[in-house]
Amino acid sequence: MTYYFNPEIETMNRNELDALIETRIKYTVKYAYDNSPFYHKWFKRNNISVSDIQTHDDLRELPVISGKTMREQQPPEKKDFRFKCSPWEDIYTIHETSGTSGRPKSFFLTWEDWQRYAEKYARSFTSQGFGAGDRIIVCASYGMNVGANTMTLAAQKMGMTIIPEGKCSFPVRIIKDYQPTGIVASIFKLLRLARRMKVEGIDPQESSIKSLIAGGESFSQESRAYVEEVWGSDVFNTYGSTEGTMCGECTEKAGLHVPEDMVHLDVYDPNLKDFVDEGECGRIVLTTLLPEGGKTGTLLLNYDTDDTTVVVSSKKCDCGRSHMRIMNPQREAETFWVDGYPFNRVDIEAGVFQRENMDYLTGEYEAFIYGDEDQGEVTLRVSVECESKDGCNQEIIKENFLKSFFQYKKGLNEAYVNGSFDILFNFTGPGDLEFYKIKGRPKRIVDRR
């Protein structure tokens, strides 16, 4: 049986949903003009009349803004926070992005924002089969990022219990003592936890876990399939951000549902400087949508997230939900170019996690890019961690990786054949990869050109 957290909205027919979206676009744009110091000045400077923004297509005509724009509108560049659009007495919490691409961006949330954020996650949890009585371990930061706290509030709305570990290095006895039914963590945290459980005599497939939720970073279908094999459980994808995207995959695994009544998501190709059609890849551009009479602490119109995706479909999903679905987003910062051809960290991960490779590998990997195209050659060195370095079948792993990596990359394959692009492999034993020596989240690809 399919369950919904908010069935009236989640199953609304497309015409009614589009009408609701347009009503909220009009209200949101006016709210931005009336309450956001940045947008009030922005509309005037660009000679845009708020009353002219009535539809989805009108919203697309507005300029796209970036994270750089946000950082320029807050201290130290400005005396105050120009994107803040509610008085301090209405601000419930303050948050910052991780700052991986520069100074952290500041976000201000009202209690209404928290309620909307929590509903987005509650819809995702429900669409993945969770509900009252479930116990979920959350292996995500409870600091300045919003994800873990939002999931906890969502659980309260659903009657679920949260085990707020924050990290996935918790004692294995937590699994035995509290019999959790789900875990929210990255692919690699779930694999490491499974290995620790096996060492202590617990088979992950025979544990209380019924489903896993992978979040925090994009992943390949190959790594997802392997985690599902190790745990004997479904792995569902969830994509969220401080900006408020919060999209979730349902049990159909046919793309991540976008909560279109609260988040307006478009896909933009900055090279063409225009939005692209359904089925084409581009950068995620989002707009915060407010219900009539609603308030928010930070409002964004046509904000470029620097993440890329493809709209899979705007038609009704087999689960009954009518909201559009997108592919697993990838970070633009994790896309690299050689000879004018791109590849992403996820492409390397897919090559590592070829099923035959996993008879020898732990799944941990890192990669480095060296060289200079002007000097004639760029080298990608891929380091993989073997269960046993002596028993690692290096030739099989190399062959499987190359076949996967070049499968849809004709240009890169040609560069490889003609010698302007090379791939080297490094096989290590457990714990010997470079990132183990560095604190913080592992950086899977480092460009050293």
126-141 pLDDT, tens digit each = 999 999 999 999 998 8
Specify the pLDDT at position 439: 81
Q: Are strands 161-163 and 135-138 parallel, antiparallel or unpaired?
A: parallel
Distance of CA 107 to the CA centre of its chain: 18
Domain 1-328 belongs to what topology?
Rossmann fold (3.40.50)
SS3 426: strand
Specify the pLDDT at position 364: 96
Question: What HEC string does 78-132 produce?
Answer: CCCCCCECCCHHHCCEEEECCCCCCCCCEEEECHHHHHHHHHHHHHHHHHCCCCC
Reference 269, options 252, 283, 254, 253; nearest CA is 283
**356 vs 264: CA distance, rounded Å:** 41
**116 vs 244: CA distance, rounded Å:** 9
CATH number for 334-447 (one of 3.30.365.10, 3.50.50.60, 1.10.40.30, 3.30.300.30): it is: 3.30.300.30
Residues of the chain with pLDDT under 70: 1-2, 98-102
Reference 436, options 172, 100, 188, 174; nearest CA is 188
Specify the pLDDT at position 99: 59
Question: What HEC string does 304-353 produce?
Answer: EEEEEEEEEECCCCCCCCCCCEECCCEEHHHEEEECCEEEEHHHHHHHHC
Specify the pLDDT at position 1: 60
**103 vs 241: CA distance, rounded Å:** 16
Specify the pLDDT at position 100: 56
Specify the pLDDT at position 423: 97
Specify the pLDDT at position 101: 54
**131 vs 122: CA distance, rounded Å:** 9
Q: What φ, ψ does residue 16 adopt, rounded to 5°? A: -70, -40
CA distances from 379 to 47, 372, 415, 448 (A): 49, 9, 11, 10
CB 218 within 8 A of CB 329: yes
CB 107 within 8 A of CB 97: yes
**415 vs 427: CA distance, rounded Å:** 24
Distance of CA 147 to the CA centre of its chain: 11
Specify the pLDDT at position 266: 94
Model's pTM, two decimal places?
0.91
Tokens in use for 211?
A: 């489903």
CA distances from 393 to 131, 397, 400, 427 (A): 44, 6, 11, 10
**442 vs 434: CA distance, rounded Å:** 9
What count of other Cβ atoms lies within 10 Å of the Cβ of residue 430? Answer: 14
SS3 187: helix
For 124-134, letters b (16+ CB in 10 Å) and e give: bbbbbbbeeeb
List the domain boundaries for the chain.
1-328, 334-447
Reference 352, options 281, 389, 298, 401; nearest CA is 401
| 64-77 tens-digit pLDDT | 999 999 999 999 99
